[in-house]
């Protein structure tokens, strides 16, 4: 093929053409500071608040519970640092395969505030037994925060969010979920979920980089992570990114409107890829679960004859972009903490293939052809 094939959509996604259009329009027409009281400022403020209403409607909540941020990492940090530092939390329950934006934040703030951090034990596919959580909740009592990601970013494992949320509610614990990989892919109704906080990042669903959001059930519990002006109802200082917010909202609107169609396409691509691998004669194992898994993500382990980043580099040379794990943990040959957890003694190479509604079946066929040529 003459064009490159991008199969790293869990790391970041290309902008949807309609997102580019709306961002250009806002950049040209609504350039005022949303905090200014003149007409240009009021027009920009109107864009921000209309976007807030739309995003709130997508996840079935009120606009006052949506805080705009710079990314998912900031959203996770803002909530976790506020709750752990509130003196109301004595125990935090999480897992060792959370994204670094959560896991490193927990380690820092739990140590700083003398809060006990308990990590559950997922299985080899990243699945967490709810009985394990309930056992820990019985021991820890009401002053507990549980934080578990909805869709595991390297394996694609999907947590049954409502079941976990309800068990937390039963024991009086707060429940936060990093939903960055599931926003726009999975249906999220925070009212039905009865969850305390979720997070989103625009560049994961074909929006721009540099903008995200935090849903928080009780906004009064949030302490500013960034100090400055009184933007975002005094909860985040700094001029709002009007252009980015508009782009994120349009991207999420498109994702929700086309959700069923996109999921069906992703499932077709994923099934075709797996079927092709099984017929190829390549030695491989599937790290991702076959059920309770995102249609977007597939993590494959290739045997010990595949060393280091050799496969990633050769795929890149062949015009195919994939990942060895989380983009936030890249830049090193060392396996990510997630892959080290599920395969502590392995000598091979795990590769994450993450798909998009933009990918085609021809691209899957060509990727399988290249893999067969490299590995057979």
Nearest residue to 182 via CA among 257, 244, 263: 263
Q: What's the CA gap between 374 and 376, in Å, rounded?
A: 6
**Which residues 6+ apart lie within 8 Å of 282 measured at CB?**
302, 371, 372, 375, 376
Torsional class of 261: left (φ above 0), alpha (ψ -120 to 50), beta (otherwise): alpha
Burial code (b: 16+ CB inside 10 Å, e: under 16) for 223-248 equals: ebbbeeeebbeebbeeebbbbbbbbb
Catalytic annotation, pick one of 51, 71, 293, 328: 328
DSSP, collapsed to helix, strand or coil, labels residue 144 as strand
Tracing tokens 């892959």 back to the chain, one arrives at: 339
List, in sequence order, the alpha helices (H) in 8-99.
17-29, 39-58, 72-84
Q: Is 328 a catalytic residue?
A: yes
| Active-site annotation, residues | 328
């Amino acid at each position: 093929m003459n064009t490159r094939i991008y199969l790293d959509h869990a790391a970041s996604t290309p902008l949807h053409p309609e997102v580019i259009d709306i961002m250009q329009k806002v950049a040209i027409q609504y350039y005022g500071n949303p905090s200014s009281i003149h007409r240009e400022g009021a027009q920009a403020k109107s864009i921000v608040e209309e976007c807030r209403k739309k995003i709130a409607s997508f996840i079935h909540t009120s606009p006052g519970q949506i805080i705009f941020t710079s990314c998912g990492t900031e959203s996770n940090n803002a909530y976790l640092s506020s709750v752990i530092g509130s003196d109301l939390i004595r125990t935090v329950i999480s897992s060792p395969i959370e994204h670094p934006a959560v896991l490193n934040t927990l380690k820092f703030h739990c140590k700083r505030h003398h809060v006990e951090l308990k990590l559950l034990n997922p299985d080899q596919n990243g699945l967490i037994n709810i009985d394990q959580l309930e056992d820990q909740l019985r021991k820890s009592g009401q002053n507990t925060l549980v934080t578990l990601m909805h869709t595991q970013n390297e394996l694609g494992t999907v947590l049954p969010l409502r079941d976990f949320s309800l068990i937390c509610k039963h024991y009086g614990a707060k429940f936060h979920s990093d939903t960055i990989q599931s926003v726009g892919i999975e249906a999220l109704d925070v009212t039905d979920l009865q969850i305390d906080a979720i997070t989103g990042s625009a560049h994961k669903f074909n929006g721009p980089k540099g903008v995200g959001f935090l849903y928080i059930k009780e906004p009064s519990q949030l302490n500013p992570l960034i100090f400055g002006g009184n933007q975002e109802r005094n909860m985040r200082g700094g001029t709002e990114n009007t252009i980015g917010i508009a782009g994120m909202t349009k991207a999420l609107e498109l994702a929700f409107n086309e959700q069923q169609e996109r999921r069906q396409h992703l499932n077709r691509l994923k099934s075709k890829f797996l079927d092709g691998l099984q017929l190829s004669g390549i030695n491989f194992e599937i790290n991702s679960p076959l059920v309770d898994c995102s249609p977007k993500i597939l993590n494959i382990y290739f045997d010990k004859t595949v060393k280091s980043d050799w496969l990633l580099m050769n795929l890149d040379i062949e015009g195919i972009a994939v990942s060895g794990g989380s983009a936030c943990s890249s830049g090193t040959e060392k396996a990510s903490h997630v892959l080290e957890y599920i395969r502590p003694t392995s000598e091979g190479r795990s590769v994450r293939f993450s798909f998009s509604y933009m990918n085609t079946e021809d691209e899957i066929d060509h990727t399988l052809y290249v893999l067969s040529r490299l590995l057979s």
